Amino acid sequence: MLHVTSLVKSYPGRGGRTTPAVRGVDLDVPPGCLYTILGPSGCGKTTLLRCVAGLERPEAGEIEVGGRVLFSAERGVDLSADERGIGMVFQSYAIWPHMSVFDNAAFPLAVVPRRRRLGRRAIRERVERVLGIVRLDGLADRPATDLSGGQQQRLALARALVPEPRLLLLDEPLSNLDARLREELRFELERVQGELAVTTLYVTHDQEEALAISDVVAVMRDGRIEQTGTPVGVYERPASAFVADFLGAANLIGGRVAESAGNGVCSVMTPHGTLRVRATPPPAAGAEVVLVVRPERIVVAREDAALNGDNRLEGVVQASAFLGGAVDHLVEVDGLRVRARTDPARAVAPGTRVVLTFAPEAGTVLPAPAAADA
């Protein structure tokens, strides 16, 4: 549905140099997909979104939506934003305070050229239908300023959906809301997107948000896409130490491969003992690697507990943090700090000596990053 090929966008820098923001990005977003660009501030994700919207002009590459070329440096095509038929919701609500809820939502239909404008009845029917979808029905005649923050963001979403765009762009739409509203609107966005089956490109720096609502996650770093996949796949099998660390708490343990067995399990020598981890494909013996293990995949037990299993590490709990449904432990293991997460009933007090274990399939193995990437 949305195809982005070799897209490049730079900005003027100091001394006549340019600063690259998007470096040869490729995207392939299927119809009806909620596709999220996830990355830290300054990685180029919003610039990429603005290029798709027609608000920025790339230097190279091509953008195509539904078989229609919106931009092509090679072919000299560059449609304006209003010619692209794309809906967009920004970080700020951009609600017109002097208008009613209905008029805000209807605005995109009211400003189209008269020859293409819908009749009043058709506009009312469409606006009322979309307001119902975003659960603002019954509020159409209210001033927009009477709405809460969450309702205003729903109104911004309704305004973007009313023209029935083939593609919806969402730029950090929940970042200005408090935690409770963010969680509530996250479910609402997922519901609305699924109900309308509108192809959606979503930009966020919030890992939890991306993992919760996306069909596909693309992790962006320094203007490039570092990894693309399902939320579970990217979280469980990160392609780099950056992805592993950015997507959530991760224990990264450096070592060297001692041997790789035929069943895909490799033995890795580390300063903390030999650890066994399943890897596909298994790295060659002698390779420098990084083991990645998520805190929730580690079993914590008191030192005197009868605990069998692979990958035994012994240490002392330095600190613990109650997170509501879980307790995070920071365990010192011979100079290595390991994070392990348990349910509250199995929490261990700071100062306690503990044994940590994890199964070979609970972790993954990555090539050791080069010095420039570390």
Rounded Cα gap, residues 26 and 24, in angstroms: 7
Q: Is the pLDDT of residue 192 over 50?
A: yes
Rounded Cα gap, residues 308 and 299, in angstroms: 11
Domain extents in the chain? 2-242, 249-367
- pLDDT mean over 81-98: 89
pLDDT of residue 260: 82
Q: Is the pLDDT of residue 372 over 60?
A: no
Of residues 140 and 92, more confidence is placed in 140
CA atoms within 13 A on the CB side of 204: 24
Confirm or reject CATH 2.40.50.100 for domain 249-367, answering yes or no. Answer: yes
pLDDT of residue 94: 82
- pLDDT mean over 132-149: 93
pLDDT of residue 371: 43
Contact 366, 373 (CB under 8 A): no
pLDDT tens digits, residue range 9-64? 999 888 778 899 999 999 999 999 999 999 999 999 999 999 999 999 999 999 99
Rounded Cα gap, residues 21 and 38, in angstroms: 15
- Under the banding of pLDDT at 50, 70 and 90, the label for residue 302 is confident
Contact 244, 292 (CB under 8 A): yes
- DSSP states of 228-257: EE-HHHHHHS-SSHHHHHHTS--EEEEEEE
**CATH fold for domain 2-242:** Rossmann fold (3.40.50)
pLDDT tens digits, residue range 199-248? 999 999 999 999 999 999 999 999 999 999 999 999 999 999 999 999 99
pLDDT of residue 172: 93
